[in-house]
Amino acid sequence: MNIHEQLSTIIEQKKQKLIKVSDSIWGFCETRYEEYQSVEIMAKTLEDEGFTVERSAGGMQTAVVGTYGTGKPVIAILGEFDALSGLSQQANAAVKQPVQEGGNGHGCGHNLLGTGSLAAAIAVRHYMEQHGLKGTVRYYGCPAEEGGGGKAFMARAGLFQDVDVAFTWHPWDENLAYNARMLATCQVYFKFKGISSHAAASPELGRSALDAVELMNVGANFLREHIIQDARLHYAITNTGGYAPNVVQAEAEVLYKIRAPKMDQVREILARVVDIARGAALMTGTQMESQFDAASADLIPNITLGSMMHKQFMQIGGETYTEDELRFAQSIQASFSEVEMKPVHKANGKVLSVDVNAYNPEPGFLAGSTDVGDVSWIVPTGQVYVTTCAYGTPPHSWQMVSQGTSSIAHKGMLLAGKVLASSAIEAMLHPEIIEQAKAEHKEQLGGETYQSMIPPEAVPAPIRRA
């Protein structure tokens, strides 16, 4: 058997165990920094497979690192397992049907992401033992990718400093080696404190925190015209100060998310947003305090690793699907809105992606963010996207959650494990790939060094709930 066949055999032998892990995490559907059951099942599986396991890695209770082997090269395989709020959904249903109203759901497929990466780490570990291959494979169980910047906190803790190259993947509706930049981002809470009073009898005694939030939002909306085209400014009012209109609201809070192509651009825009918040406080006679929530660096794709992963993907090939799987995918597509169906129509009614897309060596741009960005600033990082759902499925949707335990999703998850494992072994067997990736990485940085956007005093925090 060749290397691909050997790695595939290892993963197929572990297939049912891996599916159970993924489906269990789908059922836990735990959001950022509360993935206690998810991380424990990951940790126990790593221990069962002969890894040395570090729980609470980087001081975070829901982060885990599993290590096998010693010495160089150190290959990192990144996994995630956090869910999203408000996306509870029955499995394998073609209609919106929450398990629990307002509950959580895996609308980005991180139950698959974490387990597919785990499959890769396990396959690499057993291949290394069988062939006496020197080096280190390390599985990073990373919490809170969804708005919590778990990898950014892990990076701040120095967990990637000795890594040579990193590999990861993401569930998607196509098969491809990823080569696109993504936006840097940060999230900051702005809390205003005023004075409550009777809004009719003594309004002059009140100082409205809600007025401050509204004025801040007006100022931020005017700012949009004066920031760079590729920047984004989002906000959500997290505390309106109560439900009584006849009371001047003494407390109110708003959460801002800023995105831009570079970290320095995010910092500059944040400074202007802070000034707007201060101005809103001055206008309303309230007190303002800001609290950092999370941040992620811009993503730097590595063409050396990306092109190598593409070759591995092409040699392994895409998945094939049964008639039942095609019918299920079509039933999911039937639930799409007219706008959501446009990509499907444009692709001549594609139901499930089978082929591997051609690799474009010219980096593209995706107007999203990921904390993989922080890792990519420290070490060369490559990733693939793998079909786990019906073509055109919107990320962060109930349709994505519904497909998360399907046989389509399982096939994609295991395929991702095979591609990642093959890429890791290829890098181990050919150290010149690692050296070339490092040289490219150094050139991309152009002398810049990674500067975390997380303030020293900031700590990881779960989602704030009313």
DSSP sequence for 196-259: --BTTT-GGG-B-HHHHHHHHHHHHHHHGGGS-TT-EEEEEEEE-S-S-TTB--SEEEEEEEEE
Does residue 372 contact residue 160 with C-beta atoms inside 8 Å?
no
Distance between start and end Cα atoms, the chain: 56
pLDDT at 466: 62
How many DSSP H helices and E strands does the chain contain? 14, 13
Helix (H) or strand (E) holding 26: helix 15-28
Q: Is 354 exposed, middle or buried (CB count within 10 Å of its CB: 0-12, 13-18, 19+)?
A: middle
Q: What are phi and psi of 391, to 5 degrees?
A: -60, 135
| Sequence letter at residue 300 | I
The rounded distance, in Å, linking the Cα atoms of 441 and 349 is 39
* Domain covering 3-182+298-445, topology: Aminopeptidase (3.40.630)
pLDDT at 13: 98
The domain segmentation of the chain, as residue ranges, is 3-182+298-445, 184-296
Question: Of 458, 450, 415, whose CA–CA distance to 163 is shortest?
Answer: 450
Q: Is 345 exposed, middle or buried (CB count within 10 Å of its CB: 0-12, 13-18, 19+)?
A: exposed
Does residue 175 contact residue 387 with C-beta atoms inside 8 Å?
yes
The rounded distance, in Å, linking the Cα atoms of 32 and 35 is 7
Class of domain 184-296: alpha beta
Number of residues written out for the chain: 466
What does pTM read for this prediction? Answer: 0.96
- CA atoms within 13 Å, Cβ hemisphere of 327: 3
- CA atoms within 13 Å, Cβ hemisphere of 314: 10
Question: Of 211, 229, 204, 184, whose CA–CA distance to 277 is shortest?
Answer: 211
pLDDT at 433: 98
Handedness of CA 288, 291, 292, 293 (dihedral sign): negative
Tens of pLDDT along the chain (466 residues) come to: 899 999 999 999 999 999 999 999 999 999 999 999 999 999 999 999 999 999 999 999 999 999 999 999 999 999 999 999 999 999 999 999 999 999 999 999 999 999 999 999 999 999 999 999 999 999 999 999 999 999 999 999 999 999 999 999 999 999 999 999 999 999 999 999 999 999 999 999 999 999 999 999 999 999 999 999 999 999 999 999 999 999 999 999 999 999 999 999 999 999 999 999 999 999 999 999 999 999 999 999 999 999 999 999 999 999 999 999 999 999 999 999 999 999 999 999 999 999 999 999 999 998 999 999 999 999 999 999 999 999 999 999 999 999 999 999 999 999 999 999 999 999 999 999 999 999 999 999 999 999 999 999 999 999 987 6
The rounded distance, in Å, linking the Cα atoms of 455 and 295 is 10
Residue 180 bridge partners (DSSP): 364
Residue 178 is encoded by which pair of tokens? 């990823």
